[in-house]
Amino acid sequence: MPKIEILDQQTIDKIAAGEVIERPSSVVKELVENAIDAKASAITVEIKEGGISFIRITDNGCGMEAEQVPLAFLRHSTSKIRNVEDLLTVSSLGFRGEALSSIAAVAQVELITKTVSDFSGVRYVIEGGKEKSSEEIGAPEGTTFLVRNLFYNTPARKKFLKTPQTEAGYIGDLVERLALSHPEISFKLIVNNQPKLHTSGNSNLKEVIYHIYGRDIAANLIEVQGENECFSIQGFIGKPLISRGNRNFENYFINGRYIKSGLIAKCIEEGYKSFVMQHKYPFTVLHISINGSLLDVNVHPTKMELRFSNGEEIYQFLTQLIREAINRNELVYQVSLEREQEEKARHKQEKKERMGSGRKAPEPFEAKRLQAVKQSIRKDSPYEPKYEKPAADFPQTEPVSQTEPALQEPSGQMAPELAAEEIMFGPSPHKTAAQPKPPAETKKQPPKLLEEASRKAHKIIGQLFDTYWLVEFDSQLYIIDQHAAHEKVLYERTLAALKQKEFTSQVIYPPILLTLNMQEESLLKKYMPYFQKLGYEIEHFGGKEYSVTAVPGNLFGLNGQELVIEILDSLADFHGRETPQMITEKIASMSCKAAVKGNQSISRPEVEALIGELLTLENPYHCPHGRPTIISMTKYELEKKFKRVL
């Protein structure tokens, strides 16, 4: 075995860099976070070849003093904390002092920076951890980092990079999240000389959301706001109808930091539970401020994880906040006949606009900077004013179309929060924090279909296709899916009975015989207590045979034979991390679904009773599987279809 020796500093740095800098987007993350910590109000990110060959980040923040620059590139050098106690109150995004040293260890870095009080700036070049040059230079206030040829000296790392397009995609996602996390900062992203994103920095979160996700999402947001002694939450959550197929749309920021947290994701999903279909995830942009002493931000070098000391409290609070916000809005699906196609076309157009094609590309900071440098040399009075927000470039000049029915709905529940001006120019979340608004309940809401007071005004028109009930109410046509509604009512009854422990079972004769395969048999054994709790009685009959002798009491019409096997099959998908409640709910919801299958025609009084029962439920608008129970169409939509209105 060779002798033990301590590694040289450059090798140490290269190895350590791997923890923080995994790919071009990590460089962008660290440098933009530094710019945010430097109190920049405008930050430009420019990349070429997915950031592999070129990244330039320009900010108008506080800059660095010339003599501090070499220190900044040392490992564990930081201006943000002094000792470990400071970690409790750290409000900056950085604090580990490893980013610059890590980046410089694995790339060719050039830095130009100037503080407000210095007369001139400094240009500093460092490659592979070795200082190459340092010189005085005229420069405007702020900092520009150029990072070239990432991993040029660590080919093993470089091999793991994906294609430039994929890497550029990661950077795009990241810059979008950074823009959402700091709506008070103007962000610009330029990819291969093409402007891709430009936010105004006017603090309006809804505007940033519109900019990034487009009109469909911006038009379907619910504002949330709440606080207690330990934390405050504000932001927007999407109505369930804009739910997505993965968790990428669950954005949340803790003290201005974009993180991933199983706990917060769980709070959000729990809040939405039964409002979204299985395997669908909500859209959210939530800003959460938590007292620093309740957090541990120093969990991982990338600072993407946090630990909470009061997780349970956050869980209760956030889940409740979200649930209440959703409940405040009557969540009947609005059917718009022409919407789908129109929206697709519009979407395309919007994307084009958002991406900047067809519009004058904003002047890069860098051009200003060079101009400033030139002027400073010529006039000997170096200082350009700070970067000005390019007001004319933001789509205030193209307000949401006046002819868009979905946004201009003359009646119906979408109106109050969907006024076009509000989407674009709604109250800044920061302003709202300063002057608390009255709670949303006090806003004038249109009457809801499912309210006791509305019942007298329901005009039940009749049944369609043996399944749907048509109800006229408040200039809208409501269509109730009898099966989904019935299923929902049964399900809620079942769960309520379970809670009260008054579940009854109903003996069936003759019993239902089941033949189970090995997997089904073992699942039945495993989940037997849950079946029993719900009122099932299932006995072993010998061999592979089982007999169902009783089923849950209030589930009349339940056909047990296929049902029990179906339930067992779906339990096979469970991976063992489900809570007892989830298991019970699964069995209950499947039982209820089976129970309503048989009942096709019901009478008018029965429908009235069904509506009566629906309106007592917390979330009557979705069946236990997340499908809508009621949809609606406005009179306006119909009139439009008949070309009575344009």
Ligand X SMILES: Nc1ncnc2c1ncn2[C@@H]1O[C@H](COP(=O)(O)OP(=O)(O)O)[C@@H](O)[C@H]1O
Give the per-residue contact string, 87-106, with Mg ion (x = CB under 5 A; - = no): -------x----x-------
Q: In the bound complex, which residue of the shown chain has the CB atom lying closest to ligand X?
A: 94
Q: What is the DSSP string of 276-331?
A: S-TT-B--EEEEEEE-GGGEE-TTSTT----EES-HHHHHHHHHHHHHHHHHHS--
By CB under 6 A, is residue 449 in contact with ligand X?
A: no
Q: Which is nearer to ligand X, 298 or 454 (CB)?
A: 298
CA R_g for the chain: 30
78 binds ligand X (CB under 6 A): yes
**Which stretch in 31-39, 131-139, 464-472, 634-642 sits in contact with ligand X by CB under 6 A?**
31-39
Terminal Cα distance for the chain, rounded: 85
64 binds ligand X (CB under 6 A): yes
Nearest CA-CA partner of 197 in 231, 166, 227, 174: 174
Cα–Cα distance, 79 to 68 (Å, whole number): 10
Assigned token pair, 306:
């946090």
Secondary structure percentages of the chain, helix, strand, coil, to 5: 40, 20, 35
Q: Which does 394 bind (CB under 5 to 8 A by kind): Mg ion, ligand X, none?
A: none
Q: Would you count residue 95 as binding ligand X (CB under 6 A)? A: yes
> Which one among 97, 390, 395, 626 touches ligand X, defined by CB under 6 A?
97
Q: How many residues bind to ligand X according to rule CB under 6 A?
A: 22
| Alpha carbon 202 to its chain's center | 21
Residue with tokens 């330039």: 56
Q: Residue 179: CB partners within 8 Å, gap ≥ 6?
A: 185, 187, 197, 199, 208, 211, 212
Q: Which is nearer to ligand X, 130 or 644 (CB)?
A: 130
Indicate which of ligand X, Mg ion, none lies near residue 100 (CB less than 5 to 8 Å, by partner kind).
ligand X
Smaller CB distance to ligand X: residue 94 or 172?
A: 94
CB of 180 to ligand X, least distance (A): 20
Of 30-38, 217-225, 481-489, 513-521, which part binds ligand X (CB under 6 A)? Answer: 30-38
Q: Find residue 83's DSSP bridge partners.
A: none
- Verify binding: residue 471, Mg ion, rule CB under 5 A: no
Residue 72 binding ligand X, by CB under 6 A: yes
Instruction: Give the residue, chosen from 13, 14, 26, 34, that forms a contact with ligand X under the rule CB under 6 A.
Output: 34
**CB of 312 closer than 8 Å to CB of 266:** no
Sign of the dihedral defined by the CA atoms of residues 87, 92, 93, 99, in that order = negative
Stretch that binds Mg ion, among 26-34, 406-414, 443-451, 513-521 (CB under 5 A): 26-34
Smallest distance from Mg ion to CB 420, Å: 40
From the list 34, 376, 619, 634, which residue makes contact with Mg ion (rule: CB under 5 A)? 34
Pattern 119-148, binding to ligand X, x per CB under 6 A?
Answer: ------------------------x-----
Residue 195 · residue 188 · CB < 8 Å: yes
The yes or no reply on residue 80 touching ligand X (CB under 6 A) is yes
In terms of CB distance, is 77 or 134 closer to ligand X? 77
**Does residue number 288 form part of the binding site for ligand X (CB under 6 A)?**
no
Contact 587, 622 (CB under 8 A): no
Spatial separation of the C-alpha atoms in residues 571 and 594, rounded to whole Å: 16
Binding partner of residue 549 among ligand X, Mg ion, none, CB under 5 to 8 Å per kind? none
515 is written with which tokens?
């033949």
How would you classify the pairing of strands 194-198 and 186-191?
antiparallel
49 binds ligand X (CB under 6 A): no
The yes or no reply on residue 623 touching ligand X (CB under 6 A) is no
Footprint of Mg ion on this chain (CB under 5 A)?
Answer: 34, 94, 99
- Chain residues that interact with ligand X, rule: CB under 6 A: 30, 34-35, 38, 59, 61-64, 72, 77-80, 94-100, 143
